[in-house]
Amino acid sequence: MIGDLKTRDLLLFAFVALLFVGTGIVQSWNVSLTILNMGLISAIMALGVNMQWGYAGLFNVGIMGFVALGGLGAVLVSMPPTGQAWADGGLRVLLGLVLGAATVVAAVLAWSRVTRFRGPVVVAILVIGFFIFRAVFDGGVAAVEAVDPASTGYLGGLGLPIILSWPVGGLLAAGAAWLIGKTALGLRSDYLAIATLGIAEIVIAILKHEDWMARGVKNVIGLPRPVPYEIDLQNSEAFVARMTAWGFDPVTASGITVKLGYTGLFVVVLAILLWLAQAALASPWGRMMRAIRDNEVAAEAMGKDVTRRHLQVFVLGSAVVGIAGAMMTTLDGQLTPGTYQPLRFTFLVWVMVIVGGSGNNWGAVLGGFLVWWLWVQVEPIGAALMQGITAGMPDGMWLKAHLLEAAAHMRLLTMGLILLLVLRFSPRGLIPER
């Protein structure tokens, strides 16, 4: 797999590695590992988007939604179930959801089967269904949310190991992607961009609003971890003794050990996904996908079902993004719907893919690491720059205060400039498609 890389590409990866090592030496290894862990997750997100954009040329601007669905997966799998909530209204909520789904299915069936008064029939089904749904559902929700709202007030999860949530997050995202793709890719011309843009906002709205599901903006905190807690390590005599013997401060060492634990897990996931992605790209499926992209008309004439292939790759790519979303929530240890913002979770991933190289999996991974590193480090660099610029200004001058304060916003500007520069001078990205 690494054989696909050229010397230049390896040098680029070495350069990025150097950035992380440099961060470790100049700042601290704790900081460096923190950036690296998120970098790994970013690389996976970029990988997922690259499957959609790079292989098939699908423009997905709803990455944020799939990331958040992955995060929801983490909560649903790992948190302990809230017994009282299930007893009070859980089944009613589920029944409500089933009724809601049944309404939609009935409406769709009616649309395709009924021949006379089709419009009114469908509308009637939808309206009546909606009120039944609300009547059943709202009561259940109220009951669930009334259960100890300060700490639970939601149904909780399955209480399973959180690692399981990674594939589950992928599945959730894939399911949503299938629904979107089915509607947006089947139209006369594609409307995928606006569909994904909208659905991402809706996913976030649901996460924020549906408290019974994942506590909404009250956040779910204290998700179980796949790695030990720092405090446990610090209390473990064996750990402290070993670290002291190696000459490390046990407190610092515990933090680094935990982070390395995450790093190890993430590297494994990234390696597996990258291997799969590369294998898929080189397979007949991948070649067909690119053939469709390069000449849709010819592919269609040869009997390829373009829409179906697009749907396939869209679902797969979204699943990868969902996995990354679940991993991110695992790393954070909490689900905070309020923090999902399109600039950070959709458009930044786009910068990663374009900068890394559209159509090249290694490029996407490189872009993930590099852009994430920049995203984090531009702030201190910007602050230092502003310190330098304002050094000559007298203290208390409004401009000085303003510039120092505004340094925090340099990162968006920088990301935009990087995207524009790469698009202009190296449109194929750092590691071009081959």
Partner 1 sequence: MSSPYEGRANKDASIVKQGTRSTLTPGTATGERTHTADAFLIGDSMTGGYGSGADILHDCTIAVEKGEIAVIVGPNGAGKSTGMKAVFGMLNLRKGAVRLDGEDITALTPQDRVAKGMAFVPQTSNIFTSMTVEENLEMGAFLRRDDISGTMAQVYDLFPILKDKRRQPAGELSGGQRQQVAVGRALMTQPTVLMLDEPTAGVSPIVMDELFDRIIEVARTGISILMVEQNARQALAIADKGYVLVQGRNAHTGTGKELLADPEVRRSFLGG
Partner 2 sequence: MEPLNAFVTFANFVLIPATAYGSQLAIGALGVTLIYGILRFSNFAHGDTMAFGTMAVILCTWGLQSVGISFGPLPTALLALPVGIAVTALLLIVTDKTVYRFYRAKKAPPVTFVIASLGVMFVMNGLVRFIIGVDDQRFADGERFVISVRTFREMTGLDEGLAIRTSQAITVVVAVIVVAALFWFLNKTRTGKSMRAFSDNEDLALLSGINPERVVFITWLIVAGLATVAGTLYGLDKSFKPFTYFQLLLPIFAAAIVGGLGNPLGAIAGGFLIAFAEVTITYPLKKVLGYLLPESLEPDGLVQLLSTDYKFAVSFCILLIVLLFRPTGLFAGKSV
Residue-by-residue DSSP string for 264-333: HHHHHHHHHHHHHHHHHHHSHHHHHHHHHHH-HHHHHHTT--HHHHHHHHHHHHHHHHHHHHHHHHHHHT
Contact map string, positions 335 to 364, toward partner 1, x by CB under 8 A: -----------------------xx-----
428 touching partner 1, by CB under 8 A = yes
DSSP state of 160: -
Which of the ranges 99-107, 135-143, 245-253, 288-296 carries the binding residues for partner 1, by CB under 8 A?
288-296
Q: How far is the CB of 341 from partner 2 (least distance, A)?
A: 8
* Residue 180 beta carbon to partner 2: minimum distance, rounded to whole angstroms: 10
Residue corresponding to tokens 């991948």: 286
CA distance between the termini of the chain: 14
Measured CA to CA, the distance from residue 399 to residue 219 in angstroms comes to: 38
| Chosen from partner 1, partner 2, none, partner binding at 433 (C-beta under 5 to 8 Å by type) | partner 1
Backbone dihedral angles phi then psi of residue 176, each to the nearest 5 degrees: -60, -40
427 binds partner 2 (CB under 8 A): yes
Residue whose CB is less far from partner 2, 282 or 399: 399
Among 178, 191, 239, 248, binds partner 2 (CB under 8 A): 191
193 lines the binding site for partner 1 (CB under 8 A): yes
Residue 248 touches which member of partner 2, partner 1, none, C-beta under 5-8 Å by kind: none
Tokens in use for 383?
A: 């602050």
Q: Give the SS3 label for residue 117.
A: coil
Measured from the Cβ of residue 57, the count of other Cβ atoms closer than 10 Å reads 18
What is the total count of residues that contact partner 1 (CB under 8 A)? 22
CA atoms within 13 A on the CB side of 200: 25
Residue 211 contact among partner 1, partner 2, none, beta carbon within 5 to 8 Å by kind: none
| 3-state secondary structure at position 334 | strand
* Partner whose binding site includes residue 115, from partner 2, partner 1, none (CB under 5 to 8 Å by kind): none
When asked if residue 186 is in the footprint of partner 1 (CB under 8 A), the reply is: no
Interface residues for partner 2 in 115-144 (CB under 8 A)? 130, 138
Q: Which does 296 bind (CB under 5 to 8 A by kind): partner 1, partner 2, none?
A: partner 1
Pairing of strands 220-221, 334-335: antiparallel
- Answer whether 430's CB lies under 8 Å from 371's CB: no
Nearer to partner 2, 174 or 354 (CB): 354
Site string for partner 2, 192-211 (x = CB under 8 A): -xxx-xxx-xx--x--xx--
Helical pair 7-26 and 361-390, crossing angle rounded to 10 deg: 40
Give the whole-angstrom CA distance, residue 170 versus residue 369.
21
Instruction: Report if residue 309 touches partner 1, rule: CB under 8 A.
Output: no
**In this complex, which beta carbon is closest to partner 2, that of residue 159 or of residue 416?**
416
Coil, strand or helix: which one is 113? helix
Contact partner at residue 66 from partner 1, partner 2, none, CB < 5 to 8 Å by partner kind: none
Let me know: does 225 contact 333? Beta carbons within 8 Å: yes
Residues that bind partner 2 (CB under 8 A): 59, 61, 130, 138, 183, 187-189, 191, 193-195, 197-199, 201-202, 205, 208-209, 341-343, 347, 350-351, 354, 405-406, 409-417, 419-420, 423-424, 427
Residues that bind partner 1 (CB under 8 A): 53, 57-59, 189-195, 293-296, 358-359, 427-429, 432-433
